[in-house]
Structure 1
Amino acid sequence: MNNETIFNFTAEIFSSDLHAKRISSLSNAVTEVIKNGYLAVHLIGKGLAQAKGLDSKHPIQ
């Protein structure tokens, strides 16, 4: 599964209840948990940064 597939799935489920930015955040968290199996917020942020090629401090703040 890639981030786009997960985003589309979460958008299909939550688009009537959540703002697009929240759906994006949720899909990013789900992608990271599936990829690495981490449920700690800090580790999810670090993994997300690595997966998207971002500076590690940005997804964590």
Structure 2
Amino acid sequence: MHNRKATKDQAIRTLLENYGLQESEIVVFGDQINDIEMFQIANHAIAVANADAKLKRYATLLIG
């Protein structure tokens, strides 16, 4: 069991709210479909080359 706020995207939302950050200041990295929601928040979403194809659709940059 875990708290519903224990997700990557919710952690980012908490940081944005608590520190007054903007989405444009957030850079995220990921490789799996559970990263999609955080990719949708950040202006800079980086996926690795071997990332899930669904996640790559949300990436702003693809790296090796």
Same fold (TM over 0.5): no
In the superposition, the TM-score normalised over structure 1's length comes to 0.34
User: Greater share of helix residues, 1 or 2?
Assistant: 1
In the superposition, the TM-score normalised over structure 2's length comes to 0.34
Q: Which protein is bigger by CA-based radius of gyration?
A: 2
